[in-house]
Structure 1
């Protein structure tokens, strides 16, 4: 696992690094940066799994980094005293916002959200970001009907029929999305508002009929949970 810490105060950066190594395996690879420019350079040249980001970097706005990399496949945890920016950060789909000053327990809670397969979302995310050429395009959550796994990417299927490719995996998105979204199959996450009815077919096959007439497969392991929700 490769973790990038972007923090301009050396003492705090080392403290975060120590706490990170205490929580994860001692062999985890940790990269340290102290500026917006250096941070973006490392992100462009390394495949990281988790970003720990401060929002005040020697007077520079760390939020610029978040805006630039929000569409990438890794998760982001903000560690900052600028709590007034927490809501905006969650809207961009960060995994957690750890306010300064912080202790090891609070940082461990954030790391647990990262490692846990279960959804632990605050429900604040309002849009997902996708890369279009050299720009970032924001897709509002309300536009998404369902999300389909597509190899190392995911497909965002939108209400107007468009399909946008996203870098984050289904597992990563499942942690971020509000409770109105549910995993119905190993390859599908559905916006529950789009569901019409659950269909049981011969041979123990299950499908979800959407309000627009589309059919999505329902996994056998998900059937009881989904049936309970539709009752």
Structure 2
């Protein structure tokens, strides 16, 4: 794993670094510490990462200025911050976990396990998906997303207004974040269950989910029975 720590207090950063090395061991490929917002933004733009560990107060700069960029990228983000009152907003942006300071090794290990085990978030708190559009970050409300299609390492967001946006996160990573709102009905599709009108069987034993807008989305054979039971 390639990990970036964004933390302005050297003592805390060294502790995070030590615990991270203890937990990940040989699976850790690179670990970088940066203590300013501007340097972190530049580093993210020019390096491939799997995880960012982010403080929300960086020498007076607001970590949310970095967070809105980070959540649009392919990696997951975990907040490590004393600002517990900002946890809800952080989850709304689409972070994988919020570790409050002061923290112990057990709590940080729990956060890493969410990444390693691809554990799903158990809340309905994600309200936006951040996408990059013309070198700017656009927050797409979850309520405006009908379904999500895998497109290699990326995903395509299909919107209620008929539009489409490209997201840098994989379908697997978005499934982790959106598990209570969207259902993985096919290897290539996540669908908002509240938009499903009917589960139908077509000729040749092809299973489809018909959305309220009339669109048909394929349903995987192995997921049909489970999906049918949940939908009913």
TM-score (norm 1): 0.95
Contact 2:80–2:100 (8 Å) recurs in 1: yes
Aligned residue number for residue 30 of structure 1: 31
Distance in 2, matches of 1:201 and 1:41, equals 50
Contact 1:148–1:188 (8 Å) recurs in 2: yes
Distance in 2, matches of 1:193 and 1:128, equals 18
* Partner SS state of residue 25, structure 2: coil
Counting only pairs closer than 5 Å after superposition, residues 70-85 of structure 1 correspond to structure 2 as 70-85=71-86
Contact 2:200–2:210 (8 Å) recurs in 1: yes
Contact 2:7–2:35 (8 Å) recurs in 1: yes
- Post-superposition shift, 1:27? 5.1
Distance in 2, matches of 1:31 and 1:19, equals 14
Counting only pairs closer than 5 Å after superposition, residues 144-159 of structure 1 correspond to structure 2 as 144-159=145-160
- Post-superposition shift, 1:178? 4.9
Distance in 2, matches of 1:27 and 1:227, equals 39
Q: Which runs of 5+ in 1 are unaligned?
A: none
Aligned residue number for residue 214 of structure 1: 215
Q: Which runs of 5+ in 2 are unaligned?
A: none
Detail structure 1 runs of 4+ shifted over 4 Å in the superposition. Answer: none
Contact 2:208–2:218 (8 Å) recurs in 1: yes
* Partner SS state of residue 26, structure 1: helix
Contact 2:69–2:130 (8 Å) recurs in 1: no
Corresponding position: 1:16 with 2:24: no
* Partner SS state of residue 25, structure 1: helix
Q: How many residues align?
A: 231
* Partner SS state of residue 31, structure 2: strand
Distance in 2, matches of 1:27 and 1:213, equals 46
TM-score (norm 2): 0.95
Distance in 2, matches of 1:228 and 1:118, equals 23
1:54–1:118: structure 2 CA closer, same or farther, 3 Å change rule?
Answer: closer
* Partner SS state of residue 49, structure 2: coil
